[in-house]
Structure 1
Amino acid sequence: MHQILFYIGDFPLRSFGVMLSLGIMAGLIVSLMVAKGQRRYYEEVMDLAFYAILGGLVGARVWEVMFSWDYYSQHLIEIPAIWQGGISVQGSIIGGLLAVIWYCQKNNIAVWAMMDTLAPGVLVGQAIGRIGCFLNGCCYGLPNEHLGIVYPEGTDAYFAFGSQPLFPAVLFEAAWDLVSLGILLIFFKRRPFDGFIALSYFVLYSVGRFTLEFWRGDSLRTIMNLKAAQASSVITILVALALMYYLYQQKNALRDKRNLKG
């Protein structure tokens, strides 16, 4: 576990930044492969990538700063230092989603179909990015003697719990991302309507995140003793399921209308 891989002169090459970059590139490659397999949206994914990545990074940092304002209000100069860690996956999803919706509306592209194309790549990017969180020593878990890992001095985890073995929550989240990816790919060609894959992604990710938050040691608690990420996960699941029902009903209504005309 190394926060800094090596130096180029006086410039430190941080493991978090490297894994974040690799995750973005791998995610883009996977989304392009999905688009190529569908024979649609290949060029659009290439064009959209810049806006989605930018929106995701901005959203990830804004979310993190917002929920850690007690710290960042005293360290304003560190707010742009995204390469040092301190980003939120949920914030990145919101920021990237807004960028995708904006781009699709601007270019008259079906939003749900595009989101289905991007969802597998997002999971790949998240999984690799979570490895960067682990190497950085952030997003750590609670003390656990059986599955715990001792983080080195200088990490956020060590600052919070010292040399106690901590549950590697982010590694389990990365594994869940890959399991979710496999599930989405199995159903991709048999999806009942556009948007099914994207909404399934939101449900699967949120279920995993809600569960793993019970073992996270760095999260804020909100209402009913739940953590902020758990509360937002519950909301995400409910909204995604409601949209699934709406899109399914909409497709059936359109099919019935066509049958009547026929």
Structure 2
Amino acid sequence: MHPQFFTFHTPHYLHGLLPESITIYWYGLLITTGSVLAIIYIAKEANKQYNLSWESSIILLLLMLVSGYIGGKGFLFFEDTSFYLSNPAQLFSGSGFVFYGSLLFNISTMYIFVKVQKLPLGGMLDIMVIGTSIAHIMGRLGCFMAGCCYGLPTSGLLSVTFTGSNSQAFPLNSPLHPTQLYSVALISVILIMLFRIKKRKLFDGQLFVSYLIFYASGRTIIEIFRGDLQRGFIIENYLSHSQFISILIIASAMYIYYRLYKRAVA
């Protein structure tokens, strides 16, 4: 695909203040768009359900943006520590996040926030997870445009060929599994399911725990078709870090769901 959305050439009289050209990348643009949509949804729902002020919502969301960035980049660093120690600038490139890192840090941020604000954790996580899903869809579209998180070579009908020299996909000019679009499809289906569950929710936290089960299960399968081997493995070429985390999440989330469901129907 084409990582660059638009390049703006600054007027010559501004060259002393600004670079000669400013490039807007698809990844950053789509991530920003997704974040704005998530912010609007979370702030609106938190105000509607728990009368949380818009000011408090904005503070929460800014904290989540920062913690999500730190978590996503932090987990990326630990996936290939030696590479990023040798190439620290690559860690702060536009693309490249570990979603589970961002999710874990955002959950921690939400936990602290609701304790301070005296809000129900499960209910707020239910709101957060829909906003997160919206942002995640846009982020995966950004991955597709940048070429990161690419798939293995394939001769099947479902394939995409990256040709741009600045694409992060490898190898170029060869059909690959469009794993980024697999993720978009997965999260879109999950988002639809979450809205359906929301209409007949039995307990606070039901949407959040359901999301964890659905996403982790789908992610485990999509990882089989991923071609970016630098993402790290527990068992080389067989069990990736994300698959291992997904298995732990599935087991934990199913147990939590069972306990919360029993309490709700008792």
1:174 paired residue among 176, 180, 184: 184
Gaps of 5+ in 2: 11-20
2:168 paired residue among 156, 161, 164: 156
The question of 1:226 aligning with 2:239 is answered yes
Tell me what 1:257 maps to: none
Q: Contact conserved, 2:50 with 2:119, CA < 8 A, in 1?
A: no
How high is the TM-score relative to the length of structure 1?
0.88
Query: Quick one: distance in 2 between partners of 1:200 and 1:93?
Result: 15
**1:189 offset after TM fit, Å?**
2.7
Q: Secondary structure at the match of 1:222?
A: strand
Aligned CA RMSD, in angstroms, stands at 1.9
Q: Contact conserved, 1:41 with 1:114, CA < 8 A, in 2?
A: no
Tell me what 2:112 maps to: 102
Q: Contact conserved, 1:140 with 1:169, CA < 8 A, in 2?
A: yes
Q: Contact conserved, 1:142 with 1:215, CA < 8 A, in 2?
A: yes
**1:39 offset after TM fit, Å?**
6.0
The one-letter code sitting in structure 2 at the alignment partner of 1:50 is L
Query: Quick one: distance in 2 between partners of 1:36 and 1:174?
Result: 28
Structure 1's 42 and 126: CA in aligned 2 closer, same or farther, altered over 3 A? farther
Tell me what 2:91 maps to: 79
Q: Contact conserved, 1:31 with 1:119, CA < 8 A, in 2?
A: no
The question of 1:92 aligning with 2:93 is answered no
Output aligned runs, 1:207-226, within 5 Å: 207-218=217-228, 219-223=231-235, 225-226=238-239
Tell me what 2:130 maps to: 120
Structure 1's 32 and 136: CA in aligned 2 closer, same or farther, altered over 3 A? same
Gaps of 5+ in 1: 254-262
Tell me what 2:5 maps to: 5
- Between stretches 51-60 and 26-35, larger displacement belongs to 26-35
Q: Secondary structure at the match of 2:176?
A: coil
Query: Quick one: distance in 2 between partners of 1:69 and 1:56?
Result: 19
Tell me what 1:21 maps to: 32
Q: Contact conserved, 2:147 with 2:168, CA < 8 A, in 1?
A: yes
The question of 1:197 aligning with 2:207 is answered yes
Q: Contact conserved, 2:159 with 2:177, CA < 8 A, in 1?
A: yes
- Between stretches 84-93 and 224-233, larger displacement belongs to 224-233
Q: Secondary structure at the match of 2:7?
A: strand
Q: Secondary structure at the match of 2:149?
A: coil
% same residue? 26
Query: Quick one: distance in 1 between partners of 2:26 and 2:82?
Result: 26
Tell me what 1:246 maps to: 259
- Between stretches 69-78 and 189-198, larger displacement belongs to 69-78
How high is the TM-score relative to the length of structure 2?
0.87
Query: Quick one: distance in 2 between partners of 1:207 and 1:42?
Result: 35
**1:231 offset after TM fit, Å?**
0.8
- Count of residue pairs the alignment pairs up: 249
Query: Quick one: distance in 1 between partners of 2:265 and 2:176?
Result: 49
Tell me what 1:63 maps to: 75
**1:133 offset after TM fit, Å?**
0.4
The one-letter code sitting in structure 2 at the alignment partner of 1:66 is F
The one-letter code sitting in structure 2 at the alignment partner of 1:7 is T
Q: Contact conserved, 1:104 with 1:111, CA < 8 A, in 2?
A: yes
Query: Quick one: distance in 1 between partners of 2:199 and 2:44?
Result: 14
Query: Quick one: distance in 1 between partners of 2:262 and 2:138?
Result: 36
- Once the two structures are superposed, residues 160-206 of structure 1 have per-residue CA deviations (whole angstroms, 9 ceiling, x without a partner) of 32321111101110111111011010011311111111111111111
Q: Contact conserved, 1:137 with 1:155, CA < 8 A, in 2?
A: yes
More strand by share: 2
Q: Contact conserved, 1:142 with 1:217, CA < 8 A, in 2?
A: yes
Tell me what 2:143 maps to: 133
- Once the two structures are superposed, residues 204-259 of structure 1 have per-residue CA deviations (whole angstroms, 9 ceiling, x without a partner) of 11111111111111143213821111111110111111111222334456xxxxxx
Query: Quick one: distance in 2 between partners of 1:7 and 1:90?
Result: 32
